Structure 1
Amino acid sequence: MLKDILVLGGTGFVGRNLVVHLLERFGERIMIRVADKCPPAMAFLSQRYKRAFDDDRVEFVQCDLTRKRGRDLAWRREGGGRWDIVVNVAAETGDGRDEALYEKRCAELSAMNAERAGEEGTDLYIEMSTAFVYASSFRTPNDEQASTNPITLQAKWKLKGEEAVRGVKGLNWCVFRPAIVYGMGDRNSIMPRAVCAATYVGTGERMDFLWDGGIKMSTVWVGDVCRAVACAIEDPDKFNGKIYNLADSGNSTQGLINGLLGETFGIDVGFVGRIISNVARIHMDGVVEVANEKHMRPWSELCTKHNISTVLSPYISRELLQAKNVNVDGGKIVEDAGFVYDRERIRREDIVECLEEASEAKLFMRIWEGAGCNGEEEKG
């Protein structure tokens, strides 16, 4: 049976991967409309994604989903009718933005589009939230029953959006809370650390981060996020009214991820330790500013040298440099729905895959090739 699917925010990181996955998985059984304020021509798409958006089964509508006129453009169908499935992956995902922007582009956007879905009787409205809504927890991974205490402003307003979605009368809904999402198309997750690492290639200097390697950074591959959404599309009744975390079982940490970056780029990596980090905490704003300035200039010089014009940046916000643990249990969807994660942990090959895609899109220079492997070193 043909399903008509509306993807809100479909040119972003998760959205572009979702469009590709749905086309490959469902073939001629679906038609997709993508609604986003950023058109494909301006989204720095690699060829894989360009082909998907050029497919006859995909229609693109440029609009601002926070405005009524934009929502009307996104939702209206010639000849009437409704959307069978609506997937909301639209949100402000940049770090360090003004709180009012998160409120508008996360909470309000989700609430208004969920209300529209309720009015139209959509089979299932899928809300992509974030596992950053949970409190920082080192010892015990947060499952879906854990208390919420968002560790970033973006997560605060994504949680508000979730609550609004769940409160829409008569709406069939499902909420996914992914951990740190990595994979091709990433711009704001692992890639800022990769950009930082690139600036150390050939300098002989060690890349040090605050705190230590034990900080929890639960991960999930973007392909598995898309597969979970596809499972919900296939069986809306099973997923209706459910909240599911999405996280692999790899127990990712800051030490693991930085170690993989060290291996990929052939640089030494380490951490300043908790003693120095606790001293830095008193002057965190200044420390973050100095750290970001340290990487901005050499990154700019690298881009000039390799004739790269890019949206990628080494900037890491104050929120993400705090000693906050993203520690997530993604097992419930396995037990309830029989879902199986394709990638159970992040690997060096996954980082290289991201770099390859970014290079093909002319957003990154190929300076990792031929790099040696260096282990993690820590001091404190």
Structure 2
Amino acid sequence: MASESKPTVLIIGGLGFVGRYLAKYIHNNDLASEIRIVDKQLPQLAWLAPEFAEVCTQERFYQGDMSREHTCEKVLTRADGTTYDYIFNCGGDTRLSQDDEIYKQRNLKLSTTAARVAARKGTKCWVELSTGAVYKSDREPSKETDKLKPWLKLATYKLEAEEELTKIEGLNLVILRLANVYGEYGSKVIATMLCMARVYSYLGEEMKWLWTKDLRSHTVHVTDAARSVWTAADWYCNGKKNWDGSWGSVPVFNIVDHGDTSQGDLQKYISKIFGIKTGFHGTIVSSFARMNLGSAVDEENDEVLQPWGDLLNEAGITRPGPINPYLENELVKDDDFSLDGSRFEAVTGFKYDVPKVTEEGLLQIIESYKRLNWWPPIDLKKEEGSA
């Protein structure tokens, strides 16, 4: 393919978890004639692993707040006066339990402000990354046509952004609703569980979960998430093959692996990896926690944060990276996160390279933390002595 026939690409939030993997995927496979990365934070502060250095270069990077219209005008205008063919919005604040104003500014306003400029300038495809938590929580996997009832505050504003984007005239929009994204260098849900398990291994105590082993926490590996983003744009700009008009004018897709991941799966793998006893609190404890969730989470954090600090000190780790065992209230909700991703595969032909969470996959995540000196190593002699 001649370079001039390849699309030009802008990645908003290109230093974020999915954004950096997307940039790496496009770069490694020579898919674009130009890659531009914009993010609020600097690369030096983004905890980038060495393998991203060749991708997230200074020449490609622009630091800016895309919730501001003048920044959008500047970033979305290329040197020749045109805009980018594909714009991927991987930006926004994905932390849990933040104030409403943070989500309004960093998610809702960012998406709508930048998308309006993109539509006016004629971008060929805007891919918006949203979350599967916009659906009503249900054990049965949610399809794109199912009831929408966000059960996370972040999801409330992600859904509002979706709705506002569909109203922007001329915006060539695709919406992707992602499951829990995990993988090497990740710092979200599974990372928190791994850090907690490391603490319980250190303490020699049993690690227990609230609720039940059947609670769904569906997942997608970050490399598959990144490929799905590119696949969506490429599919859209090449005729939207297999798109059924009865599904609506704006393509919406769930992005989720085939693993039907549950708390029980994670518990089983963690028990084996760390050699600790794991289990679930009984009905009485879980019922009490449901009525007093804030207190239950605070108590758990009190138990794990100091030992985590001790572990880091003992290992001489002074810059521990973005991972820790701190639990957010919203992370402990008794809500199934369960998605049906069959539409995306049927329409685009996409195949998942990592179809489910595995013990090996979790070990690879831990190894990635070790490479960047984020992870306190296990003292094998101590463990052998206490066995």
Q: Which category describes the TM-score, using the shorter chain as reference length?
A: over 0.9
Q: Which residue does the alignment assign to 2:246?
A: none
CA contact 1:176–1:245 (8 Å) conserved in 2: yes
Q: Which residue does the alignment assign to 1:226?
A: 226
User: Is structure 2 residue 79 aligned with structure 1 residue 78?
Assistant: yes
Q: Which residue does the alignment assign to 1:287?
A: 296
Unaligned runs of 5+ in 2: 241-248
- Tell me which of 308, 315, 320 is aligned to 1:306: 315
The total of aligned residue pairs comes to 368
**Distance across 2 between alignment mates of 1:371 and 1:257:** 25
**Distance across 1 between alignment mates of 2:281 and 2:382:** 24
The one-letter amino acid of 2:360's match is E
Across the aligned residues of Structure 1 and Structure 2, the Cα RMSD in angstroms comes to 2.0
Moved more, 255-264 or 159-168: 255-264
Matches within 5 A, 1:363-378: 363-367=374-378
- Tell me which of 28, 43, 68 is aligned to 2:46: 43
The one-letter amino acid of 1:344's match is P
TM-score where L is the length of structure 2 = 0.90
**Distance across 2 between alignment mates of 1:273 and 1:70:** 52
Q: Which residue does the alignment assign to 2:245?
A: none
- Tell me which of 308, 317, 335 is aligned to 1:324: 335
Question: Any idea what the Cα deviations from partners look like across 1:13-45, whole Å, max 9, x if unmatched?
Answer: 111111111112235x43111000111111111
**Distance across 1 between alignment mates of 2:305 and 2:201:** 14
Unaligned runs of 5+ in 1: 373-380
Q: Which residue does the alignment assign to 1:15?
A: 19
Displacement of 1:339 in angstroms is 1.0
User: Is structure 2 residue 366 aligned with structure 1 residue 355?
Assistant: yes
The one-letter amino acid of 1:185's match is Y
Matches within 5 A, 1:261-272: 261-272=270-281
**Distance across 2 between alignment mates of 1:146 and 1:5:** 32
**Distance across 2 between alignment mates of 1:321 and 1:299:** 19
Question: Any idea what the Cα deviations from partners look like across 1:40-74, whole Å, max 9, x if unmatched?
Answer: 1111111111232239xx60001111223332342
Q: Which residue does the alignment assign to 1:69?
A: 70
- Tell me which of 262, 265, 271 is aligned to 1:256: 265
Displacement of 1:241 in angstroms is 2.5
The one-letter amino acid of 1:257's match is L
Q: Which residue does the alignment assign to 1:30?
A: 33
* Identity within the alignment, %: 29
The one-letter amino acid of 1:119's match is R
The one-letter amino acid of 1:98's match is D
Moved more, 214-223 or 195-204: 195-204
Q: Which residue does the alignment assign to 1:119?
A: 120
User: Is structure 2 residue 350 aligned with structure 1 residue 339?
Assistant: yes
The one-letter amino acid of 2:16's match is G
The one-letter amino acid of 2:41's match is C
Moved more, 73-82 or 170-179: 73-82
CA contact 2:73–2:117 (8 Å) conserved in 1: no
Q: SS of the residue aligned with 1:26? A: coil
**Distance across 1 between alignment mates of 2:41 and 2:323:** 16
Displacement of 1:111 in angstroms is 0.9
CA contact 1:46–1:358 (8 Å) conserved in 2: no
Moved more, 305-314 or 175-184: 305-314
